[in-house]
Amino acid sequence: MIPDLPLVIYWLVTGMTALELLTAGAHLPTLYRVFLTLRICTCLAGVVFITVCTGRPPLFGPFEAAIYIVFVMGVLAWVFQKNWGHQTVFSLFSSLGVLVILLVQLGNPMALNEDYFMYGNLWVNLFFNLRLLAAAFLAHGASQYLGHMVEKKPRDLLSTGGRNTLLVGACVYLTSEWAGSLWCLNWFGDSWQWSRGFFKASILFLLIMAVCHLPSSINKNNRIQGISGILPGLFIIWMIFYH
Amino acid sequence: MIQRLGSVTLTFYTLIVLICLMEAGVLFSTAHGEIFVHMNEVQIFEWIMATWEKAPLPVVWFLSLCLCAAVLFMNAVCCSLGRQWSLAKKSGLFKNWLFFFLHCLFIMVLVCHGLILALGEKQSRVHLFPGQDHSFGPYEIQLADVVFTGDPAILKAPKKQQRALMTRKNIRIHENHALLTLVKNDRILARQKIRMLSPLRYGSVQVTLVEFVIQGADDRLGVVLTLTDNFLNTFFFLVYAIMILSLAVFTLITWKRPSGKKQNMPPLSCPETKGENRLEGRETQIRPD
């Protein structure tokens, strides 16, 4: 049973997200909230399962990363809508984003990662886990920016949420990189090394910085600003699942 | 001039070029993997000299990257000292001072990144066996003993298989160690058991245990070490941590609450100032967050 449990959790979460998307599209906020809550609870069960079985938090890999990111995105969506009321466009994009994250995992083995002796180290755990957390924040922010872009009567609710989420995501991401640097220092003797991983991590940081430094000529265009707000979320998801 | 050099427009386009150069780095590291491995093992000037003759393109790429980072550095300095400083002084608001401070910390992190690359001493992949010693600048590293409690077959396995065998159960990270002595001018400076992920640190010197090895017909157990001497590491981590903390505080104190009105997206991080973007010949207002 236990080896199949990740697959069961994966399909349960995917099914609930599909229902969530349908109810959001059909303007059924109460039902949407029920499915969102169920999705969060199932993901939480998945996260507890990972933690209990491996003795560490979720770190990476198709199953661990997807369930953890989807869990945090669910919590963020729940909190956001609890504070500001049901936002149909945001709900649609958030659920769609989660569904895409889950569906691109199709075909990948749904299992726990193989153990490695370094997984007992604090900095290693912080580096990987906070990276997933940052991905969830940035992806949540991307849904808010996307929602704002296509809203018929744009208000500042989603864009303000996107701005706040992006900055929190940046803090979490930098903390993860800081822990990663310490790991690198203790492992290789250098605080950072030239590698594909380093270049990709730098691109993400530079993307976040670029969004924060849009020149006024671009800043006035909601569409361009929206797209730039989406890019960090898209890039980190790609980086985590296709590294 | 300082206003032009510190403009947000210059920041933005420099960042875009840097992103492109990093993308090129991803491609280069795939195509010229061994060149990048070498880049990590020697000091950067040494790497430039050695690589220029056989593969000039990665060197040109690296120099472009440095140039772009230098432009970003200059831009950050001009923006901070030319605009954010006067704005913070004029308004006296904590968030503007914090914004200025945040940029100063970023400049320091950028400088540390560059200097760590260029300064200090480094020797990579030094193989040592019990009873052997090795010179590192004015220091001498003596290896007295190596203890590895796991199955030695793990160390003999090919690298790809090794990864699967090195579980927490098989490799007891706290039990495996090497007993090292750091000596300078016949004076013992430090004597310590070092473990993987737990190096010996003495001032700016760091002796890092990269891996355990088994060599020879008699299965002699030894270690692979990386020796570094860089006074900036501690400072770099401290400044980096303060920068993250400042960003967190900045995010908290500028946390935006929506008004519910129709509005353009709020800018993310620039404080209120008028007259930005004179390069484009128009006045722009960047609102505080």
Of the pLDDT bands very low, low, confident and very high (cuts 50, 70, 90), residue A163 is confident
Element (H, E) at B143: strand B139-147
Q: How confident is the model at residue A42 (pLDDT cuts 50, 70, 90)?
A: very high
Q: Is the ipTM of this complex over 0.90?
A: yes
Which of A175, A183, A190 is facing B244, going by the closest CB pair? A175
| pLDDT of the residue at B260 | 57
The answer, for B252 touching chain A at a CB cutoff of 8 Å, is no
CA dihedral of residues A135, A141, A144, A145 (deg, nearest 10): -110
Token duo for residue A177:
């990189």
Beta-carbon separation of A117 and B171 below 8 A: yes
Distance CA A232, CA B14 (A): 17
**Does the pTM exceed 0.80?**
yes
The DSSP H or E segment spanning B287 is none
Q: Any idea of the CA torsion for B36, B37, B41, B46, to the nearest 10 degrees?
A: -40
Note the pLDDT of residue B280: 32
Can you tell me the mean pLDDT for A85-112? 90
Alpha-carbon distance A137 to nearest alpha carbon in chain B (angstroms): 14
pLDDT tens per residue, chain B (289 residues)? 777 788 899 999 999 999 999 999 999 888 888 888 888 888 788 889 888 888 889 999 999 999 999 999 999 999 998 889 999 999 999 999 999 999 999 999 999 988 887 888 889 899 999 999 999 999 999 999 999 999 989 998 888 888 889 999 999 999 999 999 999 999 999 999 999 999 999 999 999 999 999 988 888 999 999 999 998 999 999 999 999 999 999 999 988 776 655 555 455 544 434 444 332 333 332 333 3
Q: What is the pLDDT of residue B256?
A: 77
For residue A206, what are the CA distances in angstroms to B20, B149, B245? Answer: 10, 44, 19
Closest CA–CA distance from residue B255 to any residue of chain A (Å)? 6
Look up the domain containing A108 and give its range: 2-241
CA angle, residues A229, A234, A238, in degrees to nearest 5: 155
Chain A contacts of B14, Cβ < 8 Å?
Answer: none
Q: Determine, for residues A156 and B206 on separate chains, whether the beta-carbon distance falls below 8 Å.
A: no
First to last CA, chain A: 30
Surface of A (55-74) touching B: CB under 8 A: 55
Residues 142-161 of A with CB under 8 A from B: 145, 148, 153-157, 159-161
* Beta strands at B133-136 and B273-276: parallel, antiparallel or unpaired: unpaired
- Can you give the pLDDT at residue A18? 96
Q: CA-CA distance, B233 to B72, in Å (whole number)?
A: 22
Question: Residue B267 carries which DSSP code?
Answer: P
**Residue B261 confidence (pLDDT):** 55
Pair of tokens at residue B284: 């722009």
Collapsed DSSP state (helix, strand, coil) of residue B166:
coil
Q: Once rounded to an integer, what is the mean pLDDT over residues A77-83? A: 90
Domain regions of chain B by residue span: 2-120+234-254+268-286, 122-229
* Single-letter amino acid code for the residue at B219: D
Across the strands, what pairs with B284? B276
Q: Where do the H-state alpha helices sit in A151-195?
A: 156-188
Write the DSSP string, B194-231: EBBTB-EEETTEEEEEEEEEEETTTTEEEEEEEEEE-T
To the nearest whole Å, the CA of A71 is away from the closest chain B CA by 23
Task: Name which of B28, B30, B115, B125 is nearest B70 in CA terms.
Answer: B115
Sorting pLDDT into bands at 50, 70 and 90, what band is A153?
low
CB-nearest to A186 from B9, B16, B197 is B197
CATH class of B122-229: mainly beta
User: In the prediction, which pLDDT does B259 show?
Assistant: 65
**How many domains, chain A?**
1
**Tell me, what amino acid is at A241?**
F
Q: Given CB atoms, is A235 within the 8 Å cutoff of chain B? A: no
A21-33 tens-digit pLDDT:
999 999 999 999 9
Q: Model confidence over A205-229: pLDDT tens digits?
A: 999 999 999 888 887 777 888 888 9
Residues 6+ away with beta carbon under 8 Å from A11: none
Name residue, tokens 């004076």.
B187
CA nearest to A93, candidates A139, A43, A28: A139
